[in-house]
Structure 1
Amino acid sequence: MRNLSAAALESYLATEEARRAIVTSLVAEVANTYLLARELDELVGIAQSTLASRAESYRIMKRRYEVGSGSKLDAVQAETLLNSARANLAVLLRARDQNRNALTLLTGVSPAVESSPLSRIEPGFVRDISVGLPSDLLLNRPDVLAAEHRLKAAHANIGAARATFFPRIVLIGSTSTASAELSDLFAAGSGVWRFVPSVTLPIFEGGRNLANLDLSEARRNVAVADYERTIMEAFREVADALAERHWLADQVAAQQATLAAQAERARLAVLRYQSGAAPYFEVLDAERDRFAAEQTVVQARRALLSSRVNLYAALGGGTEDQAGRD
């Protein structure tokens, strides 16, 4: 009876950890939806400014054509870009309304979204992760704890299970990216899990261990297979989140440089047109590309912030202070 009661308690605790996993996922979803709201607000602002600029360009080109100092082609091209700007703004306004509805559904209240640019979001919006973070932190992930409770319900020794299946490594290297140890857990190219479990420690009561059982036979135990899969997924999610954060930081820097170059190109195109050295189409083309670059920078900044939210979720919503806590 005592064993049955203990097993029932562990099953209940596993259910509680599953509930906590849902909460962590919900927090991340709310944060990402809010960041998207900020992105859409900024994109709408850019689109409105672009629409006003193109409306003025069309007014000027149309007037020049009417008085005979400009070509009909210039007027038509300006009108085309004006209509394109109107359509783009309509798409963004629709997306913003849908985002607000999603945020209201997630939070249960009508959200108040700050309208300042994403670049002004405080660095502490999501706590950054320090170099040398130990993998023990993942032992506090709700899904890992739930899997451990299911093992306990099957009368397993958790200390032995951790020693067998859980890699004790550093997660983040000196460059704030995935450590070499973390990268080595997955085969290059295929991403196959390469960690080799220990087979010397007894996992179940009564001395049954992976040394006495064939490893493949032991894995047929549902609880053991579930635990090993959960550990693998935890490390993979962290590796993916770290890679995402690293490459998005590079992307933001590259997109900002592109925007600066496109802004200078647009300025020079206006000067060339005013001096008669270039057709008006060159100005319109440069302005269109600058608008696209502005949008891409905003989208990349939001993606970078979201990558920090995703890393937070991959770590189970924890920080260094929780590492190794049972």
Structure 2
Amino acid sequence: MNLSSPIRRSGVGVAAVLALLAGCASGPARAPADAQPGIPAVLPLGSLPDSGQPGTLADWHALATDPALQRLAELALANNRDLRVALLNVERAQAALAGSEANKLPAIGVGVGAQRAPNTQGKQVNTFTAGVQLASWELDLFGRLRQLDDAARASLLATRAGQRAAELALVSQVLATGLTLRHDDAQLTLARRTLATRDETLRLTVLREKVGAASMLELQAQQALVAQARATLAQWQRQRAQDENALVLLVGAPVPADLLAAPAGSSPLAEVPVGLPSAVLLQRPDVVQAEQQLLAARANLGAARAALWPSITLTGQAGQASAQLSGLFEGGHFAYTLAANAVLSIYDGGRRQSAIAQADAAERIALAQYERAVQSAFRETADALVALSTWREQLAALAQQRDAARETARLTDLKAAQGAASVLEQLEAQRSLYAAEQAWLQAGLAEQTSRVTLYKALGR
């Protein structure tokens, strides 16, 4: 199915997918696309040019063909504080994984000790020891530590996916805000041109009113148009300043002026490749994050269940032992101890069962969140497809309306110069032209940002 096909069929297909997903849980297994329950083999996205890697989409550099927008995105990726927090969360998850892996290994140290205790004859004796010590080392016979390690590893992968999601959201916001700034500049240019034209018309109307060729009503109408144009100009000046402030916050640093200017010529955004298999949505960072969080929850549930089994630990030490402190430094006093301890809790007031119940609830919550993430991916992609298609149609229609308004204004001016059209007709034609040009500019921005939205929905 191509993008040129009716959008209604796309919407029905996605609605069917959402209904099917709501009725069955597919879990996080990474099977091929045709083996995923509730997921169609191919999204109704049209035909896809070869992106060099099957089932994937090129990164954002392929979308932002304008070097200025690319530079803005790169600055944001380097300086944005929210993204910096996401990177630090990854570092924290890496440290947590290292700690979890270390729990499976023995802790070995060196130490000295002194003890005074009765011997087998009941006589108090001194014992001095020095050597290598093995602290309590849990033998993971029932997989509790392995499950905790798997949970930490899945949490790290989820955090990395969260970082990629943050990068995707940041780049999308930067591109959309950069396009909005260019739209503001275009609106400012239109407002200034309109104000200059109306100022000139007012000047001529004042001269005509002085010689009796224009009425006071015409003069008041022209003054109202000039005031309206000044108000619109102030509105867009304020809007542009606020949008630039938003861009500075996203970038995390002052934005060079040369990156804000709109280049002449081609569109700043490329066409978004479509026609990808539906499995590409499973690669969206938020879906991957939800999947890894589900795997972590399942591992935590396994660790909670493993805690029902006995805990087996080893302790020991090897080195010098002597009844005299000076004997520690003499030969012939080597000794070692090795102990094993197995503990099975018989009664704990229901703590372990409570931990299992909590872990089970957390696993079911994570499963629901994973299903929700997949459903949201299809919904956002369907919405973005509809928006892109309809905004293109609307932009084409508004371009025709703008051209017609320009011709109407030109012909009305000619008729007014010959006395065949009233001033009110001329003013109405000018108002219609200005409104049509504004609507066309706004639709152009919406069409561009819908490309960004679709790109983000596809998860790249």
Asked if Structure 1 and Structure 2 have the same fold, meaning a TM-score greater than 0.5 normalized by the shorter chain, the answer is yes
1:90 partner letter: A
1:314 partner letter: A
Measured against aligned partners, the alpha-carbon deviations of 1:236-267 in whole angstroms (never above 9, x if no partner) come to 00000000001000000010010011111101
- Which structure is higher in strand share? 2
Which one of the candidate residues 2, 7, 12 is aligned to 2:156? 12
Which one of the candidate residues 256, 261, 275 is aligned to 1:114? 261
Question: Matched residue of 1:221: which SS?
Answer: helix
Percent of aligned positions with the same letter in both sequences? 42
Which one of the candidate residues 60, 81, 87 is aligned to 2:225? 81
Cα RMSD between the aligned structures?
Answer: 1.9
1:2 and 2:146 aligned: yes
Find the aligned partners of 1:115 and 1:150 in 2 and give their Cα distance: 42
Measured against aligned partners, the alpha-carbon deviations of 1:176-222 in whole angstroms (never above 9, x if no partner) come to xxxxxxxxxxxxxxxxxxxxxxxxxxxxxxxxxxxxxxxxx999811
Find the aligned partners of 1:235 and 1:42 in 2 and give their Cα distance: 34
Could you say if the C-alpha distance between residues 38 and 312 of structure 1 is closer, same or farther in structure 2, counting changes exceeding 3 Å? same
Find the aligned partners of 2:169 and 2:147 in 1 and give their Cα distance: 33
1:261 and 2:404 aligned: yes
1:57 partner letter: T
Contact 1:219–1:225 at 8 Å: present in 2 too? no
Gaps of 5+ in 2: 1-144, 300-359
Question: Matched residue of 2:249: which SS?
Answer: helix
Which one of the candidate residues 426, 435, 440 is aligned to 1:297? 440
- Which residue of 2 is the match for residue 136 of structure 1? 279
Find the aligned partners of 1:252 and 1:149 in 2 and give their Cα distance: 42
- Aligned runs of 1:1-326 on 2, under 5 Å? 1-107=145-251, 108-111=253-256, 112-116=259-263, 120-122=265-267, 125-130=269-274, 132-155=275-298, 221-317=364-460
How many corresponding residue pairs? Answer: 253
Contact 2:394–2:443 at 8 Å: present in 1 too? yes
Gaps of 5+ in 1: 157-216, 318-326
Contact 2:175–2:452 at 8 Å: present in 1 too? yes
Contact 2:297–2:362 at 8 Å: present in 1 too? no
- Which structure is higher in helix share? 1
Find the aligned partners of 2:173 and 2:242 in 1 and give their Cα distance: 15
Could you say if the C-alpha distance between residues 121 and 109 of structure 1 is closer, same or farther in structure 2, counting changes exceeding 3 Å? farther
2:444 partner letter: R
1:273 partner letter: A
* TM-score, normalised with respect to structure 2: 0.53
1:279 partner letter: S
* TM-score, normalised with respect to structure 1: 0.74
- Which residue of 2 is the match for residue 163 of structure 1? none
Measured against aligned partners, the alpha-carbon deviations of 1:277-301 in whole angstroms (never above 9, x if no partner) come to 2211111110111011111111100
Deviation at 1:315, TM superposition (A): 0.8
Could you say if the C-alpha distance between residues 279 and 153 of structure 1 is closer, same or farther in structure 2, counting changes exceeding 3 Å? same
Could you say if the C-alpha distance between residues 224 and 274 of structure 1 is closer, same or farther in structure 2, counting changes exceeding 3 Å? same
Question: Matched residue of 1:154: which SS?
Answer: helix
Find the aligned partners of 1:56 and 1:91 in 2 and give their Cα distance: 21
Find the aligned partners of 1:248 and 1:146 in 2 and give their Cα distance: 32
Contact 1:55–1:82 at 8 Å: present in 2 too? yes
Find the aligned partners of 1:298 and 1:276 in 2 and give their Cα distance: 33
Find the aligned partners of 1:244 and 1:144 in 2 and give their Cα distance: 22
Contact 1:42–1:115 at 8 Å: present in 2 too? no
Measured against aligned partners, the alpha-carbon deviations of 1:70-118 in whole angstroms (never above 9, x if no partner) come to 211111111110111011000001111111111111112224312446x
